[in-house]
With several copies, the nearest count.
Chain A
Amino acid sequence: MTTTAPATARKPATMAQALTRALRDAMAEDPAVHVMGEDVGALGGVFRITDGLAKEFGEDRCTDTALAEAGILGTAVGMAMYGLRPVVEMQFDAFAYPAFEQLVSHVARMRNRTRGAVPMPLTIRIPYGGGIGGVEHHSDSSEAYYLATPGLHVVTPATVEDAYGLLRAAIASDDPVVFLEPKRLYWSKAEWSPDTPTAVAPLGRAEIRRRGSSATLITYGPSLPACMEAAEAGRAEGWDLEVVDLRSLVPFDDETVCASVRRTGRAVVVHEAGGFGGPGGEIAARITERCFHHLEAPVLRVAGFDIPYPPPMLERHHLPGVDRILDTVARLQWESDWTEGRGA
């Protein structure tokens, strides 16, 4: 999962460090950027992503709020109305739900409501997903809610480099961005150039993480490592798998995804969110609409089960792992013995 940018002064960095750096650089560059949320001040956030910001920029720029998510997002709306660029931290996926009304009824609609007069340059950072042994309510994959809400951009990094680049792009965006941070990748490491961090990536472009010709694995955020691993393991089965990291769910990069699927003729969408009504359905449907005659097999999905997120000791059975991905690739009708009705 290394990237292709020039390797000036690269050293190992974690995704968490890249995110912190992105916040710091954005705050240093633009005094309108304000970070706010629960415990983001002295503590630096429960994941330490805002570490040092209150000290460096003062408590007015990096503010410990009272414990009320609707209040946090609602006041951020007002701050954005006055020209600030709030970056809101929701402590965990499930604790963003109290702010749902503010998000859907205001954040997503303010620009449209006012015909562009009141933009919402808000970034809403949400650590999401499982795999870290979190107890109930600390591991939800809530992206389906956000991508079904017109007016929001929904972005999620899978690499250290992207964590920086996409967060900078999100904060720079004049539209609200739900920035989903894969918790389980916070401590993932990569060689990275913190001294000259990669220029801001434009939102809405997928990235091909691995070239291949037999089938395309389409994924994002927390599931990229499993897909990369599966692609490697797939070689033993004779498959040369391409891996597409969406990076942005909204806007959706039909071009990159469809070009890949047209080339390979087969696709599997992989994500941790529940399958039913999850992002995979949309992705599979739009690929099929656009690439029907190129498909050798239906687009299949590997997703979380349609159950409440499991307790820590059972979560490994829920998460899409390498085996489940490869089992699904195997069902892409390579032979003539396909029987319908085995779909997930």
Chain B
Amino acid sequence: MTVLEQPGSSRNKSSLAGPPPAWRPRVDPAPLLPDEEPYRILGTDAAARLDSGLLTRLYAQLVRGRRYNAQATALTRQGRLAVYPSSTGQEACEVAAALALEERDWLFPSYRDTLAAVARGLDPVQALTLLRGDWHCGYDPHEHRIAPLCTPLATQLPHAVGLAHAARLKGDEVVALAMVGDGGTSEGDFHEALNFAELWQAPVVFLVQNNGFAISVPLAKQTAAPSLAHKAVGYGMPGRLVDGNDAPAMHEVLGEAVQRARRGGGPTLVEAVTYRIEAHTNADDATRYRTDAEVETWRAHDPIALLEHELAGRGLLTDEFVATTRESAEQLAADLRERMNADPVLNPMDLFTHVFAEQTGQLRAQAAQLRAELEAEAAGHTEDTAGTAPAEEARP
């Protein structure tokens, strides 16, 4: 007799063969695991097969990127940007992200990734609008297929998944590339986005720029994982680990991931190992949490220097080439400086224009109140303080 021998039950045909076969989805984890060391091309034998055209193109972009970062930081000192999170040292990641995509694809940048947007073709002034403080997004995302710069960490990752999924449902061969930091991988949204992506086989590439820090918090306090790329296996997704300062390696790995996604092969998680050379933003004081010596070890692994070494070996780093490159970068900087020095033309009434498709009565009333105030203010200014307030800011 057994306990299970009960009326209506005949369960004593117990199988000792283990759980029924359909107990879980089966994927072989081995191919999903990243290499132990970051993938590199520069400084290895593989560098030989690189196309010189690609190298010079990457180089020009990196140099422009570095100059762009310097200029943007300078603009914070002149009060022309509210804040700037520099990507100095991370230019290879930023540029490779932009170059990996075709026109029809979408980029989902974070606050640190204005350079990727600029490398994709966005006007730098538009890219910097959020950080300048005149509006939350300075461009029409549909025009360049660049989502708004995202500040709440990792929240843009599910957006990228949803967009890529929608495109796939519509039959469009569009890939989304989403950028996030090492710190951002700790957020729940990272987890949920990767899970949805693999389940939906969404054509999306997740690029984690592991720059060593989330503001002051070093990677060792962010994760105890073998690498961030190892997180991929928990979603059944391949993870790839790349030297983020090796521009051709980044270009190749992201390119492969994008192609794989486009062909219906599903998402990829790419961890780029890099370093944030500057402080978190101009407002941050990095001396509180790291040593100059540490920064120096990374300056020695600078993405531009790495590329210069390869170009020099090929005899491509001519003075002329460097000068042209530098000039183009200077032009970008000069143009940016000049245009950012002009006061933006702002209309406070815009505050009410796009809250809803159709303004509600409530907002119409509030808009009317502000307009009346502005008119009173303008009248007052004419009388006693004319000219002190930027006129365009008060234009209803």
Contacts and interface: CB of A to CB of B under 8 A. Distances in A.
Interface of A: 34, 38-39, 41-44, 46, 60, 64-71, 73-84, 86, 94-95, 97-98, 101-102, 105-106, 109-119, 133-138, 150-151, 153, 173-175, 204, 250-252, 254-255, 276, 305-308, 310-314, 317-318, 323-324, 327, 344
- Kindly name the residue among A74, A83, A174 whose own CB sees the greatest number of chain B CB atoms within 10 A: A74
B309 to A, nearest CB: 35
Given A44-B288, A64-B217, A305-B352, A135 B163 contact: no
A252 B361 CA distance: 9
B346 A313 contact: yes
Given A67-B183, A74-B189, A344-B366, A115 B353 contact: yes
A150 B189 contact: no
Contacts of A136: 130, 136, 151
A135 B82 contact: yes
5 contacts: A64-B217, A77-B159, A82-B162, A84-B169, A254-B361
B362 interface: yes
Interface of B: 82-83, 111, 130-137, 140-142, 147-148, 151-153, 155, 157-167, 169-170, 176, 183-184, 186-189, 191-193, 195-196, 199, 214-217, 221-223, 285, 288-289, 344, 346, 348, 350-357, 360-363, 365-366, 369-370, 373-374, 377, 393
Name the prevailing secondary structure of the B interface residues.
helix
Contacts of B354: 111-112, 114-116
A76 B200 CA distance: 13
B360 A310 contact: no
The 9 tightest CB contacts between A and B, nearest first, are A78-B162, A74-B158, A71-B192, A75-B162, A312-B133, A43-B216, A82-B166, A78-B163, A78-B159
Given A75-B165, A175-B356, A39 B216 contact: yes
Given A204-B360, A276-B362, A307-B351, A74 B193 contact: yes
A311 B152 contact: no
Nearest to A341: B365
A306 B351 CA distance: 10
B152 A101 contact: yes
A71 B189 contact: yes
B140 to A, nearest CB: 4
Given A64-B216, A137-B152, A79 B166 contact: yes
B36 to A, nearest CB: 24
